[in-house]
Chain A
Amino acid sequence: MSEFIGIVIIGIGILFDLSGVIGLIRLPDVYNRLQAATKCVTMGTCMILFGFFIYTGFTPAGIKALLTLVFILISSPTAAHAIARASYKYGIKLTDKSVCDLYSKEEIVRCSAVMNRNVTTILPDATLEEAISLIVEKNITGLPVVDRAGTLLGIITEKDIIDYKRVGNIKVAKVRDVMTQNVLTFAPNTPLEEVLKAFSEGKFRRVPIVEDGKVVGIISRKDIMRYLKGEKE
């Protein structure tokens, strides 16, 4: 009885093999062929091995067939994946009838590629006059406020200073009193797309790039312009 069941399973396995190989012959491009053939033939061969195990029972040969089955089950999809990726990198085109090609999407640009790493920062207990002269000297529009360890506390911008000028005395004020707290920040590996969204929807002019609480860079609108210029060339 078990021999009969084994033979039946082997027969079904060979039918799977057949359909896989027909796919290998008939389908239009290498990726189609790969997916048809790998899945069906792996299934088919695994059924042949399992059928053989049923056929012989728990003999050394049967156990060996089971081991081979497990090995094929792991190795065959791995090899197929490697070949698919390699053929893509080798430059083999998809067939004309393909609907989409997600793998070819342009690489995501991260903030770290665009950000300015030379951040001019200011300490919270500096005077407002120091901040103003820094802004004028460096020709920038805002300064991240960091403590001595480099942790971001806030940001002081031209607008903050102008707002303060109407209500207070610039000569005695400290940066700490004027700065904006609760700054919108991004991590270095954030897609640039999100920064563009923030610039476009909010009234930000610059966002600090923060890693583990420390300021590692800054992206201003000017940095985006520089990036776009580089992309164009």
Chain B
Amino acid sequence: MIEIFIYALTFLTFLCLYRVGMGPTPADRAVAIDILGILVVGFCVMITILTGKDFYLNVALAWGLFSFIGSIAIAKYMEGKGFDE
């Protein structure tokens, strides 16, 4: 069962990467990368169940954190502002 979930999530991440690749606007890519980050958190949880090693949860937490910071940074950049505004 867990393997099926992992295949499904892998498929979903590839769909996200399709949107990252096809665009057409920079905002579409930013959105897709943001969603990809959240999907990867779920993916790490599945790997934790599959392998029984819970350090993958740390990976999930860190990935979620950096995905959030990255999205905010991209948004600020698109607005044309500095990071301290």
Residues in A7-34 with C-beta less than 8 Å from chain B: 7, 10-11, 13-14, 17-18, 20-22, 24-25, 30, 33-34
Interface size class of A (residues with CB under 8 A): 35 or more
Quick one: which of B15, B57, B75 contacts A83, CB cutoff 8 A?
A: B75
- Which among A35-43, A139-147, A168-176, A184-192 touches the partner chain? A35-43
A25's partner among B15, B30, B65 (CB-CB below 8 A) is: B15
**Contacting residues, chain B, for A85 (C-beta < 8 A):** 75, 79
| C-alpha gap A37/B16 in the complex (Å) | 10
CB-CB under 8 A from A75, the residues of chain B are 64-65, 68
Question: How many residue pairs, one in A and one in B, have C-beta atoms under 8 Å apart?
Answer: 146
Query: Complex: how many Å from CA A10 to CA B77?
Result: 35
Determine chain A's interface SS by DSSP, over half rule.
helix
Which residues 1-53 of B have a CB within 8 angstroms of A?
Answer: 1-2, 5, 8-9, 12, 15-16, 18-19, 25-28, 30-32, 34-35, 38-39, 41-42, 45-46, 48-49
Known: A80-B71, A87-B27. 4 other contacts (CB 8 A): A17-B39, A22-B15, A68-B61, A86-B30
Interface residues of B (CB under 8 A from A): 1-2, 5, 8-9, 12, 15-16, 18-19, 25-28, 30-32, 34-35, 38-39, 41-42, 45-46, 48-49, 54, 57-58, 60-61, 64-65, 67-68, 71-72, 74-80
